[in-house]
Amino acid sequence: MADSVTRAGDRHATTAILDYVNRVHAAHDAGLARAFEVPDGIPAIQISPSDGKLIELLLRLVRAAKVVEVGTLVGYSAIHLARALAPGGHLWSIEYEPRHAEVARANLAAAGFADRATVLVGAGRDVLPTLAPHAPFDAVFIDADKGNYPHYAQWALDHLRPGGLVLGDNAYLFGELLEDSARGRAMRAFHELVAAHCDSVCATTPEGLVIGVKR
Ligand code: DHB
Ligand code: MG
């Protein structure tokens, strides 16, 4: 029998329960509510409210001030990251699609973060090297093209302070993590790279969220 694709919480978390806990622990303010609504023509692949709140709390715990995101989409996760920034901190978020970046900038501005968040348009591989002068960073959140996760993680490990966080969404690769495909191999390389250089876990969010604390 083939393994089923197990989503964390399937046995006990009904949709109504997830709605309840999101409402109690991760309620949207106006800025998050606006950014959660994705305009027509842009895929609704943002992280969940609880994942966003988890990332926000993790950043607060390490007192993150300088943060990089790879994969902005329309800025929902970026608002969570920006909310967590220590005083004087800054978020640099990289987005490949200019139209998505434009919506993200408007959402970040509406949420009050225009001066604390910069959305940079381009491929992660091209834009990350331009951020090196701001290193060391306190956290890097990877949520972009899955085949480049090992490259993004290596950059993160090279530019994070010890104790800094590397985070990666979609770490179960939509159920394809163990497949003998280029993407499967890349995502496994990502897991193994983070595990080799961090104290790490793959948190059992519905998508799998890798959390590494750089040694
Ligand atoms: C896709 C990308 C994501 O980051 C995600 O969370 C869900 C889906 C995608 O490319 O399909
Ligand atoms: Mg994602």
DSSP state of 129: G
Q: What confidence score (pLDDT) does residue 10 get? A: 58
Does pLDDT of 2 surpass 50? no
Question: Can you tell me which residue has the tokens 């993590």?
Answer: 177
67-105: pLDDT as tens digits: 999 999 999 999 999 999 999 999 999 999 999 999 999
What is the chain's length? Answer: 215
For ligand 1, say whether the CB of 69 is within 6 Å of any of its atoms.
no
Our mutation pick for probing the ligand 1 site, out of 55, 170, 173, 176, counting the most ligand atoms within 8 A of Cβ, is 170
For ligand 1, say whether the CB of 169 is within 6 Å of any of its atoms.
yes
Q: Which H, E and C letters describe 78-114, residue by residue?
A: HHHHHHHCCCCCEEEEEECCHHHHHHHHHHHHHCCCC
Does pLDDT of 4 surpass 80? no
Supply the residue whose CA is at minimum distance from atom 5 of ligand 1: 45
CA–CA distances in Å: residue 125 to residues 149, 154, 198: 10, 11, 22
90-146: pLDDT as tens digits: 999 999 999 999 999 999 999 999 999 999 999 999 999 999 999 999 999 999 999
Supply the residue whose CA is at minimum distance from atom 4 of ligand 1: 143
Determine the Cα–Cα distance for residues 126 and 124; give it in Å rounded to an integer: 5
Q: What confidence score (pLDDT) does residue 12 get? A: 86
Supply the residue whose CA is at minimum distance from atom 10 of ligand 1: 145
**Domains of the chain by start residue, with CATH:** 31-214 (3.40.50.150)
156-201: pLDDT as tens digits: 999 999 999 999 999 999 999 999 999 999 999 999 999 999 999 9
For ligand 1, say whether the CB of 143 is within 6 Å of any of its atoms.
yes
- pLDDT band for 3, please (50, 70, 90 cuts): low
Is pTM beyond 0.85? Reply is: yes
- pLDDT band for 1, please (50, 70, 90 cuts): very low
37: phi then psi, degrees, rounded to nearest 5: -85, 110
For ligand 1, say whether the CB of 51 is within 6 Å of any of its atoms.
no
Q: What confidence score (pLDDT) does residue 181 get? A: 98
Q: What confidence score (pLDDT) does residue 11 get? A: 73
Question: Under DSSP, is residue 10 helix (H, G, I), strand (E, B) or coil?
Answer: coil
Supply the residue whose CA is at minimum distance from atom 11 of ligand 1: 45
Does pLDDT of 7 surpass 60? no
Q: What confidence score (pLDDT) does residue 140 get? A: 99
The ligand placed nearest to the CA atom of residue 44 is 1
